[in-house]
Amino acid sequence: PPLLALEGLCVAAEDREILHGLDLEVGSGEVHALMGPNGSGKSTLANVIMGNPAYRVTGGRIRFKGEDVTDWPTDVRAKAGIFLAFQHPEAVAGVPVVQFLRQAMAARAGEDRSVLEVRFAMRDWMTRLGIDEAFAQRPLNEGFSGGERKRNEVLQLALLRPELAILDETDSGLDIDALRIVAEGVEAVRAENPDLGILLVTHYRKILDLIRPDVVHVLVDGRLVASGGEELARRLDVEGYEPWRS
């Protein structure tokens, strides 16, 4: 079975349907870009795959490696190997980065991780991602700049070693140098885990020059209106999303 399969997925939040019957498959080792204008439902999709209880599946299902995970709670999905890098990572007051990562890594592995192990694993990736060592002791995302938050999400991706990673606008708010560092980080994670499947949510093409997608999907008003290769992203750059609106 594919790594991820959405079958006629309908999703609502607060009594309003946002996603109207999505079909999508992501295989192991594949990169799928999900593009679409603001408000089209990209983050809703990212969140519902992760099991965010703010969103209700009102039709269809989500399969992960063939298993129906539609009703699984978030922590069970995370343990199984699904990872979401948030569009707007939130601050966690009083919890230092190192402690947060230790808990997340232990949850993913199903056994405790020592502080030393976590520090050791972190050090290498923090260097690669250009994150200052002092960050390990700072409360998660508290006072972090936009770019620092995004790098920190990629650090989590690297350390948690998921099988499916959803990156929700990990490119937004980054200057060109930070974008390159983040993209290189994601590529380094892929090099270590060639089976990692990625759903890369973006509305800019730039990151797709650095992380080349196998498939590009276009989401407009809660519907997938097109799928294709990289040429589709180039076309969106020229024509915008307007031609896809009904």
Which CA distances in Å does 71 have to 14, 49, 64, 161, 202? 18, 10, 12, 23, 26
Half-sphere exposure for 132 (CA within 13 Å, toward CB): 9
* Residue nearer to Mg ion on the CB measure, 135 or 169: 169
**Residue 38 touching ligand ADP (CB under 6 A):** yes
- How many residues of this chain bind ligand ADP (CB under 6 A)? 12
* Residue nearer to ligand ADP on the CB measure, 26 or 49: 49
**Residue 44 touching Mg ion (CB under 5 A):** no
* Residue nearer to ligand ADP on the CB measure, 10 or 104: 10
Strand partners, 197: 164
Looking at residues 86 to 145 of the shown chain, list those that interact with Mg ion (rule: CB under 5 A): 87
Q: Quick one: what does residue 106 bind among Mg ion, ligand ADP, none, with the CB cut-off 5 to 8 Å set by partner type? A: none
Which CA distances in Å does 124 have to 119, 120, 152, 237? 9, 7, 13, 36
Read off the tokens for 169.
């606008």
User: Contact letters (x/-) for ligand ADP, 43-82, by CB under 6 A?
Assistant: xx---------x----------------------------
Rounded Cα gap, residues 82 and 198, in angstroms: 10
Hey, CA dihedral for 61, 64, 65, 67, is it positive or negative? negative
Rounded Cα gap, residues 241 and 203, in angstroms: 10
Q: Quick one: what does residue 14 bind among Mg ion, ligand ADP, none, with the CB cut-off 5 to 8 Å set by partner type? A: ligand ADP
* Single residue of 24, 41, 153, 157 touching ligand ADP by CB under 6 A: 41
**Residue 113 touching ligand ADP (CB under 6 A):** no
The answer for residues whose C-beta is within 8 angstroms of residue 88's C-beta and 6 or more apart is none
* Residue nearer to ligand ADP on the CB measure, 53 or 194: 53
- Interaction site with Mg ion (CB under 5 A): 38, 42-43, 87
- Interaction site with ligand ADP (CB under 6 A): 13-14, 18, 36, 38-44, 54
